[in-house]
Amino acid sequence: MIILLLFALLFVWVWKQHSASASSAAGGGRSAAMAGTVPVTVATAKKGDIGVYLDAIGTVTPTYSDSMTAQVTGVITAVHYREGQDVRKGDALIDIDPRPYQAQLEQAQGALDRDQNLLAEAQMDLTRYQDAWAKNAIPRQTLEDQEKLVLQDQGTVQNDQGTVQYDEVQVGFCHIASPIDGRVGLRLVDPGNLVTANSSTPLVVVAQIHPITVIFTLAEDSLPEVLKETHGGKTLEVDAYDRTQQTLLAKGKLITIDNLIDTVTGTVKLRAQFDNSNGMLFPNQFVNTRLLVKTLENQTLIPSSAVQHNGATDFVYLIQNNKAVMRTVTSGISDAGNTAVTGINPGDVVANSSFQKLTNGSPIVLSKVTIPSTSSESEAAP
């Protein structure tokens, strides 16, 4: 028992000696660090403008998209387009054999000609009967019967005219032309294929991609801010970026906001339009959108990396007399690597590196001076 007690006392003594040595070494290291200057990279606060953006994921949609199906039954005689071709409104796309429908049209036209002549004959007889009735040469019943016969022939002619118009429409359905300016997709049918009327299978798809639109969603909490700007007649700008949010694909404008909020997701849909002159936006493509709600002017801007956080408090290390002085700031909008802050002034120099070595009052040596670009400078740059 005495031996175990001695071992326990020895263990406690060794542990205390080890802790004291470690504390001494750590204290010496901190003292050494505090005693030397810290090389830091600094940045100068600038006055500039910064945009308030709302980011969202969007889907590229054609301005118009037409899937054309056969409205008559027949054999395809010609396909006039090339796959991926840009077409104009009215350009021929597909022809269906029109001969059966042309024959029906001729039959209807013949019936119309016959009945028009019968009507003309009945009208001439009516004129004769009216003259005879005026001379009391025929009974009143004969005149009235002829008047009704003329009305019957007029109805027959009108029916024939409707048949002719219907057959003309059927012949027109045999020639399929583009209803819009756009681009056709892959070829879906070939000459010689038999197509049937009212089939759900499309013969050709035309999508308008110049201009093109993007549909994206925003949280309903962001809607009042957007409506406030649009109700004033202002057109809001929208940027479309790729999946990595690094490459700007196109710049456009907001054209409409949906009339309902989705109660399941708590979001509302918006549509933006892009000229897409470079063809970087493609139907059904997923993009990242940035809606510029408004621009804050004359803000004090510093690199976002210069802002440090201690719980809910933001601060920077202000460089004064070759020392790092801790200064509390209030952070605002961040964009393009810059943050708008209050608590410092344009022209103030702040530390932008070596934060793990800095404390309030640390002596520093300048490593490099960098000037952050503002949003307005970025837009002006080529």
Domain range annotation of the chain? 37-50+297-380, 53-63+207-296, 98-172
Residue whose token pair is 């110049």: 210
Model confidence at 1, pLDDT cuts 50, 70, 90, reads low
Whether 277 contacts 221, CB under 8 Å: no
Distance CA 188, CA 348 (A): 66
Per-residue model confidence (pLDDT) at position 56: 94
Q: Which pLDDT tens digit goes with each residue over 122-136?
A: 999 999 999 998 888
pLDDT tens for 157-202 read 999 999 999 999 999 999 999 999 999 999 999 999 999 998 889 9
Q: What is the pLDDT of residue 344?
A: 86
**Range with the poorest average pLDDT among 33-42, 256-265, 353-362:** 33-42
Helices (H), the chain: 2-35, 99-134, 140-173, 223-230, 375-380
Does residue 33 surpass a pLDDT of 50?
A: no
| Angle, in degrees to the nearest 10, between helices 99-134 and 140-173 | 160
Q: Is the pLDDT of residue 225 over 80?
A: yes
Bridge pairing between strands 46-62 and 65-68 = unpaired
Domain at 37-50+297-380, CATH class: mainly beta
Report long-range pairs for 257-265 (Cβ below 8 Å, ≥24 apart): 257/223, 257/226, 257/227, 257/230, 261/220, 261/223, 262/217, 265/217
Query: What is the per-residue pLDDT for 376?
Result: 40
d(CA 339, CA 46): 11
Q: Reply yes or no on whether the pLDDT at 74 is more than 90.
A: yes
Q: Is the pLDDT of residue 120 over 90?
A: yes
Question: Running DSSP on this structure, what letter comes out for residue 27?
Answer: H
Q: Which amino acid is at 95?
A: D
Cross-strand pairs, 272: 214, 254
Global pTM value: 0.69
CATH of domain 53-63+207-296: 2.40.30.170
- Report residue 27's pLDDT band, with 50, 70 and 90 as the boundaries: very low
**pLDDT tens digits for 333-344?**
888 888 998 888
Report how far residue 256's alpha carbon sits from residue 287's, in angstroms, rounded to the nearest whole number. Answer: 18
Four-way CATH pick for 98-172: 1.10.287, 1.10.1060, 3.30.70, 1.10.10: 1.10.287
